[in-house]
Amino acid sequence: DNLDTPIATTTTAGNTSSEPMRACFVVLVRNSELQGIKNTVAQIEARFNKRFQYPYVFLNDDYFTDDFIQQISSLTTAQVNFGKVGQHMWGYPSYINQTHAATQRAVLAAQGIPYADSESYRHMCRFQSGFFFRHPLLDAYDYYWRIEPDVDYHCDIDYDVFRYMKDNNKKYGFNIAFREYMATVPSLWQTVLDFQKAHPEVVNQLPQPKDSLWNFVAGDDGQSYNSCHFWTNFEIASLDLWRSNEYLKFFNYLDRAGGFFYERWGDAPVHSIAAAMMLKKDEFHFFNDIGYRHTAYTHCPTEPIYRDKCSCNPNDNFGKLIECQ
Ligand code: GDP
Ligand code: MN
């Protein structure tokens, strides 16, 4: 591949910047998922990053093994940082009643919901909701691309997606939207409404519902959550969005309510509801050109111009996002 090829970006915001982008891949992963994450990183390098050399930040609630660090580092010439997640970002806050949490896990497990009885999954969702963007290894960056083990990236991406985000004033990029298991978030929406009532100073800073994506998540005229969310296993977004006072107040309010542990609030509905509330519609970007598979679901661009860039079958495309399936 020719590294000297000029990068064409379409710009609506006017000034196209040329200073280096402060952006990285962020990867929360366990040592046991080494093979799966090698598969993902190899695809990211081949499809995108061999041209752009963005650094990676690997995070784990445990120490990465020397073998893990060595095998990952050998996949890329980009910088790779490995970090451990500290106790206050991965553990029970003092105000959580762990006995009650255990009882509630058993209640959810009886309903056959995925990860219903998993404590680590709850710590993971809380970390992805409220902490990854505050990990010291991310301080150097303004944008991130979240990647996971055992996913596929199907298409060549020959422009700088981070620069695209910046130049077009995009704050949140996604490519799959889906319905949440409502049993995992029964009190989330009411907590969001309570937050809005308790924090008018935040609500006053936010776009009007008609200018935001509020209606992407609001059901029954705003009385309930319609269960739509963007899948956060792929995310290209602004770190400032989550570092804002508005979001931090929102996250702290949710965290205090206890639903990360007493229910099983996912980072996907939390990010999606927050972004839908806090961003203007045109600050979202649908990355149609980034073909992607996570578990059984694939986003594959269907337009003929992608045929030579992508290895996925357009017939496998998950479908129309706006209805969120
Ligand atoms: P799913 O996509 O909702 O099925 O959840 P995953 O099992 O894929 O987990 C989401 C992300 O968090 C993946 O990148 C996992 O590697 C990571 N992850 C999940 N649980 C843990 C954990 O206990 N420790 C660490 N270090 N990473 C985790
Ligand atoms: Mn996953």
Q: Tell me how far apart the alpha carbons of residues 47 and 52 are, in angstroms, rounded to a whole number.
A: 10
Fold topology of 23-316: Spore Coat Polysaccharide Biosynthesis Protein SpsA; Chain A (3.90.550)
User: Cβ(61) to ligand 1 under 6 A?
Assistant: yes
Decide: 119 in ligand 1 pocket, CB within 6 A. no
pLDDT at position 40 over 90: yes
Centre of ligand 2 to C-alpha 147, Å, is: 9
Q: Which atom of ligand 1 is nearest to the CA of 30?
A: 26
**Can you tell me the mean pLDDT for 94-101?**
98
Across-strand partners of 285? 173
Q: What would the pLDDT profile of 178-219 be if each residue is shown by its tens digit?
A: 999 999 999 999 999 999 999 999 999 999 999 999 999 999
Bridge partners (DSSP) listed for residue 228:
179
155 lines ligand 1 (CB under 6 A): no
Backbone φ, ψ for residue 194 (5° rounding): -65, -40
Residue nearest to atom 7 of ligand 1 (CA): 121
Which residue, judged by its Cα, is nearest atom 21 of ligand 1?
Answer: 124
Of all protein residues, whose CA lies closest to atom 15 belonging to ligand 1?
29
The residue ranges of DSSP E strands in 48-102, in sequence order, are: 56-60, 80-84
Which residues, at least 6 apart from 93, have a Cβ–Cβ distance to it below 8 Å?
Answer: 255
Where in the sequence numbering do the catalytic residues fall? Answer: 235
The three-state secondary structure class of 45 is helix
Whether the CB of 233 sits within 6 Å of ligand 1:
yes
Q: Is the ipTM of this complex over 0.95?
A: yes
Is residue 165 within 8 A of residue 285, CB to CB? The reply is: yes
Convert the pLDDT of each residue in 232-258 to its tens digit.
Answer: 999 999 999 999 999 999 999 999 999
- Ligand 1 pocket residue status of 267, Cβ below 6 Å: no
Structure confidence by residue, pLDDT tens digits, 270-304:
999 999 999 999 999 999 999 999 999 999 999 99
Centre of ligand 2 from the C-alpha of residue 190, in Å: 27
| Closest to 160 (Cα-Cα) out of 229, 84, 236, 223 | 236
- Residues 277/131, Cβ–Cβ less than 8 Å: no
Distance CA 199, CA 201 (A): 5
Place of tokens 């990029």: 173
> What's residue 18's pLDDT?
80
